[in-house]
Amino acid sequence: MTIRSNLKRLAAVSTEIPRIHYREGLESGFMDDYESAIESFDRVNYITVGSSYWTRQSQYYKANAYSQLEQYEKAIEEYKKLLATDKKNSACWVNLGASYVDLEKFDEEALSCFDKAIELENKKKNPDKIILEIAWSNRGTIFLAGR
């Protein structure tokens, strides 16, 4: 990065609040305006240099927006970016696997995503039953598809 681009980011951080763009992204997603949601989440990621709560949240919902637009390759890319910094996010693992299934990639990579989500949830004191149900049912889908 150049000094100029770093200064631009510093100016953006000092004048803009990531939470506002994050909320705009969520609101756009609730109204099924996924393109606007993605723009808002991109703005959050631009403002929050590095990994922060807002960065992780916006990456997750940006990936979800791509899934809603049936742009599964882009969703996979975003889920992988998030998992690079948040490997214990079981919801992200299950959504990554579901994106592979949506692309009809019934392979070991998709299966390992569901296995990871199940493993992470089972380690919790209060596992999320919905994540476990989605992971197990998608895991079954892979085997039924003739894996």
Range of the domain at 58: 1-74
Q: Do residues 1 and 44 share a domain?
A: yes
Q: Do residues 122 and 53 share a domain?
A: no
Q: Which residues contact 19 (CB under 8 A, 6 or more apart)?
A: 54
Radius of gyration of the chain measured on its C-alpha atoms: 17
- Beta-carbon neighbour count of residue 22 at 10 Å? 22
Work out the mean pLDDT of the chain and round it to a whole number: 89
Q: pLDDT for 38-77, tens place per residue?
A: 999 998 988 887 668 888 999 999 999 999 999 999 999 9
Q: Do residues 33 and 63 share a domain?
A: yes
pLDDT of residue 26: 92
Q: Do residues 6 and 66 share a domain?
A: yes
Distance of CA 112 to the CA centre of its chain: 17
Q: Do residues 68 and 115 share a domain?
A: no
Nearest partner of 68 among 117, 33, 104, judged by Cα: 33
| CA distance linking residue 113 with residue 127, whole number of Å | 17
Contact in structure between 110 and 100 (CB atoms under 8 Å): yes
| CA distance linking residue 94 with residue 97, whole number of Å | 5
Is 80 part of any domain?
no
pTM: 0.83
Q: Is the predicted pLDDT of residue 112 greater than 90, yes or no?
A: yes
Give me the half-sphere count of Cα atoms (radius 13 Å) on the Cβ side of residue 88. Answer: 5
Q: Is the predicted pLDDT of residue 35 greater than 90, yes or no?
A: yes
Q: pLDDT for 118-133, tens place per residue?
A: 999 999 999 999 999 9
Q: Is the predicted pLDDT of residue 94 greater than 60, yes or no?
A: yes
Is 108 part of any domain?
yes
